[in-house]
A and B are shown apart, each in its own frame.
Chain A
Amino acid sequence: MDIIDTIKEQIEGNPIILYMKGSPNQPQCGFSARTSQALMACGERFAYIDVLSNPDIRTNLPTYANWPTFPQLWVAGELIGGCDIVVEMYESGELQLLVKEAAAQVPVD
């Protein structure tokens, strides 16, 4: 499958998905660490992709997203932003609301 199709499928198939360097438990970059901490503190399940072990995604997602760096948080198919935006939204309480709303849309099976 084309890498852009893979990315689209990930973004559309996961209501909350974080593209980051490393994993939430072992982040490899301070910006990714701070972003995943804010997201984990929201208390909802989320998907993540480690772009260091997915070089194709690391190369192609910035163009698709019109966003040159990582991390990138996508919620309900929309780019929310990187570390600075996510942390600011967490501090204002906006992130918690957004994440809870997105998680509530997921059908429980």
Chain B
Amino acid sequence: MNVQQTIESKLAAALSPDHLEVINESDQHNVPANSETHFKVVIVAGDFEDQRKVARHQAVYGLLAQELAGPVHALALHTYTLGEWTERHAEAPLSPPCLGGSKSES
């Protein structure tokens, strides 16, 4: 299983989401081709009802702690309840362009 599939299966198993998109955006960043370092996750789940955004993100980060400590460098997270997702017309924001910051990492 590659990193993308691992993220998908962990989130699907833990949160039973109504909607889940895991998008590999690594090719927009300053990393070698076919990397799995930058991801965007759009997740719509009932568990997020009555949870502030910080708590939702912390829950997702907790589930993916292993990936974040390892290969994953950036994780854009868009967490919604079904109501919020409908209000947004099922559209998540675009991720920002890379500015090369990971260059300074060894």
> Could you say which of A21, A80, A84 contacts B77, with CB atoms under 8 Å apart?
A84
Q: A21-B101, A68-B65, A87-B93 are in contact. Are A80 and B54 (CB under 8 A)?
A: yes
Are B99 and A85 in touch, CB under 8 angstroms? no
Are B99 and A28 in touch, CB under 8 angstroms? yes
Are B96 and A34 in touch, CB under 8 angstroms? yes
Q: A31-B96, A52-B104 are in contact. Are A83 and B76 (CB under 8 A)?
A: yes
Contacts of A66 in B (CB 8 A): 58, 61-62
Closest-CB distance, B57 to chain A (whole angstroms): 6
Are B93 and A84 in touch, CB under 8 angstroms? yes
In this assembly, does A13 line the interface, its C-beta being within 8 Å of a C-beta of chain B? no
CB closest residue in chain A, given B77: A84
Q: A68-B68, A87-B93 are in contact. Are A31 and B58 (CB under 8 A)?
A: no
Q: A30-B99, A69-B75 are in contact. Are A81 and B93 (CB under 8 A)?
A: no
Are A30 and B78 in touch, CB under 8 angstroms? no
A interface residues, Cβ below 8 angstroms from B: 21-22, 27-34, 52, 66-69, 79-85, 87-89
Q: Can you name 20 A-B pairs with beta carbons within 8 Å?
A: A21-B101, A22-B101, A27-B99, A28-B104, A29-B99, A29-B101, A29-B102, A30-B95, A30-B96, A31-B96, A52-B104, A66-B61, A67-B61, A68-B61, A68-B68, A79-B54, A81-B53, A82-B57, A83-B76, A84-B93
